[in-house]
Amino acid sequence: NLGGILMKAIVYERYGSPDVLALKEVEKPVPKDNEILIRVYAASVNDWDWGLLRGKPFVNRLLFGLLKPKIKILGVDIAGQVEAIGRNIKQFQPGDEVFGDLSGCGWGGFAEYVCALENALSLKPTGITFEEAAAVPQAAVLALQGLRDKRQIQPGQKILINGAGGGAGTFAVQIAKSF
């Protein structure tokens, strides 16, 4: 620690089962000019976290560290409150309630604070809790991309969603019904 402020985070330094996770004190991140510092109120665990934790499939190791993980703090789906912003941030202000997917900006959601890029976040709808918002980003976006971006669903059309019991599947059923 070089005089920085500490925070708590769930950290892992080797691939394995959840037993390799440890609650540790680490340095609190400081936002760069193009980043937002978020106080994390809720984070969800998804398949990406599970795959990176185990280092499986093997391609994860090729992308994120062959012998040990490069990403030390998992967690991509988060919800929280903006604490500070970099000078180039236009959409958000301190105090804004946000949620988003951190997979494109370094992960780190299993911590008290995380920095994110502006385009990784959206304002949290006022009618949902932080916990509900944190469960949305990856699963909902995957479902939406699969239904909207790949196909044009027409009213009255029937659609089969195989695997509707998982995160993306439960969103896919609801999104397809709305279409």
DSSP codes of every residue in 124-153:
PPTTS-HHHHHTSHHHHHHHHIIIIIS---
Residues of the chain with pLDDT under 70: 1-3, 150-151
Q: How far apart are CA 154 and CA 179, in angstroms?
A: 7
Those residues with Cβ within 8 angstroms of residue 107's Cβ, 6 or more apart along the chain or in another chain: 52, 71, 73, 74, 75, 76
Confidence at residue 151, expressed as pLDDT on a 0 to 100 scale: 67
Confidence at residue 125, expressed as pLDDT on a 0 to 100 scale: 96
Q: How far apart are CA 8 and CA 3, in angstroms?
A: 16
Confidence at residue 162, expressed as pLDDT on a 0 to 100 scale: 83
Confidence at residue 67, expressed as pLDDT on a 0 to 100 scale: 92
Those residues with Cβ within 8 angstroms of residue 38's Cβ, 6 or more apart along the chain or in another chain: 78, 80, 81, 82, 83, 98, 113, 114, 115, 116, 121
